[in-house]
Amino acid sequence: MIEQMKRSDRTTSAAVLILLFLMITVGCGKPPLVTNRFLLEYPSPGFGSKPALGESIRVELFAVAQTINSTAMIYLPRPFEISSYVYNRWQVDPGHMVTDFLLRDLRNSRLFQGVFGYQQSGVGRFKVEGAVQQFAEVNDPDGWKAVLDVSVTLLDLNEAEVTRRVILQKNYRQAEYLPEQNASGLAQGMSRAMEVVSATIINDIYKAAAGRVCR
């Protein structure tokens, strides 16, 4: 009788372990959680019939403020508070995202003889450096907005004196209303903000570089 009870206890324990294993494996019948990934999307801006400069330009990877230096889709619901979407993330961090789209737009503009990225060995007369200060959804008094804040410095490497190399140093901030208050709306609003900022940066870079080339 005692031996039968022991066998029964072992059988019950084994059944419980199998049941626990199955519950963990299949998640009690619930589908696995999926993280959605987002990228910016917009057409490269046009620049009319501006003549191309006979010089090349190099774009370095932009630095990122530590508060946003991740792939988290950040939103600021109120002053002094920061949060992020749980199951939604950017595909890459803001530094790579802004740099890569600026590179794409510069190449498509055809305003320079050559455009080299931070992963290439090419060297141009002009060099662009920058930093992303803000890349987030912000709850402004007049509504939720995607806010992009970028600082840019343009250097003329042909100048022997270091103090004369900086020919443009400017901050760019663009806020766009969200079409809907969710991760998809943030991606759409930030895409529009990047489209505006990219066009403005390239225009300013072209004017500053042209001033040096044509003098």
Whole-number pLDDT of residue 29: 55
Average pLDDT of the chain to the nearest whole number: 88
Q: What is the DSSP letter of 48?
A: T
Q: Give pLDDT tens digits for 159-182.
A: 888 889 999 999 999 999 999 999
pTM above 0.95, yes or no: no
Whole-number pLDDT of residue 30: 56
Whole-number pLDDT of residue 160: 86
Quick one: CA dihedral 43, 49, 50, 55, positive or negative?
A: positive
| H or E element in which residue 163 lies | none
Looking at residue 200, its amino acid is T
Q: Which residue has the higher pLDDT, 28 or 58?
A: 58
Q: Which residue has the higher pLDDT, 69 or 21?
A: 69
| Residue 87: strand, helix, or coil | strand
Q: Are 44 and 109 in contact (CB under 8 A)?
A: yes
By the 10 Å C-beta count (0-12 exposed, 13-18 middle, 19+ buried), 98 is classed as: buried
